[in-house]
Chain A
Amino acid sequence: LAKTTQPISMDSYEGQEVNITCSHNNIATNDYITWYQQFPSQGPRFIIQGYKTKVTNEVASLFIPADRKSSTLSLPRVSLSDTAVYYCPVGRRGRETGANNLFFGTGTRLTVIP
């Protein structure tokens, strides 16, 4: 299975840029890399996905090296509301015409300090 490995926790001051790394050594050729955010007592929420190089959206950037065995989520200028657990599940197609399955690791607990 394409499980992922991340730092257990990180602290950052408000207003700083935060980079969270993820290792996915068993990633397969057609797998995608995704990042999700989870607040306590809520389901995960999609942040960003990518296949290779760099992807940017309105909330984050995702950096993926050429070998694709790791990735880095970059959050610019974090605020207190960014305190959450961040997961980097590998995305893999479950069937020829259907589901896009996610394989989660244990996540990184980010704490933003005032």
Chain B
Amino acid sequence: NAGVTQTPKFQVLKTGQSMTLQCAQDMNHNSMYWYRQDPGMGLRLIYYSASEGTTDKGEVPNGYNVSRLNKREFSLRLESAAPSQTSVYFCASSEAWGLTGTGGAYEQYFGPGTRLTVT
């Protein structure tokens, strides 16, 4: 049981390049999330997917797109990378509302992160 996995762990891009960050979870969770964390800051929600087939914008969606490929996988795409997108990206998953884990409805499980640098 690997929990939440993310690939790649590190990536360096040039301005204008594109890439896709991959995320997968093996806990059969309905909901998945993408966050970014800038140095010395808390996490900010980029996009989320309440369940398979649905996606919604979070606090900072500009410059990103997402795909909920199936129940396990949720990818984040940068179409044209900018230096302002240099950050650490975390994927997370959780049960949907009304289906609580041992911790409660707001217990999210986070992956190890992807450190992205855009030059």
Q: Which A residues are within 8 Å of any B CB, using their own CB?
A: 1, 32, 34, 41-46, 48-49, 87, 89, 91, 93-95, 97-107
Given A32-B106, A34-B106: A98 touches B96 (CB 8 Å cut-off): yes
Interface contact B103-A105, CB-CB below 8 Å:
no
Interface contact A44-B58, CB-CB below 8 Å:
no
Contact with A along B78-112 (1 / 0, CB 8 A): 00000000000010101011100001111111111
Report the tally of A-B residue pairs with Cβ distances under 8 A.
Answer: 96
Given A91-B105, A91-B106: A98 touches B51 (CB 8 Å cut-off): yes
Interface contact A43-B90, CB-CB below 8 Å:
yes
Interface contact A102-B56, CB-CB below 8 Å:
no
Q: Which B residues are within 8 Å of any A CB, using their own CB?
A: 4, 30-31, 33, 35, 40-45, 48-51, 54, 56, 58-59, 90, 92, 94, 96-98, 103-113
Q: Chain A residues near B41: list those with CB within 8 A.
A: 106
Given A99-B48, A101-B48, A104-B42: A43 touches B112 (CB 8 Å cut-off): yes
Q: Chain A residues near B58: list those with CB within 8 A.
A: 101
Interface contact A101-B33, CB-CB below 8 Å:
yes
Q: Chain A residues near B111: list those with CB within 8 A.
A: 43
Given A49-B103, A94-B50, A104-B43: A99 touches B110 (CB 8 Å cut-off): no
24 residue pairs from A and B, CB less than 8 Å apart: A32-B104, A32-B106, A42-B110, A43-B90, A43-B111, A43-B113, A44-B90, A44-B108, A44-B110, A46-B107, A46-B109, A49-B103, A49-B106, A89-B43, A95-B54, A95-B56, A97-B98, A98-B97, A99-B49, A100-B97, A100-B106, A101-B33, A102-B43, A106-B42
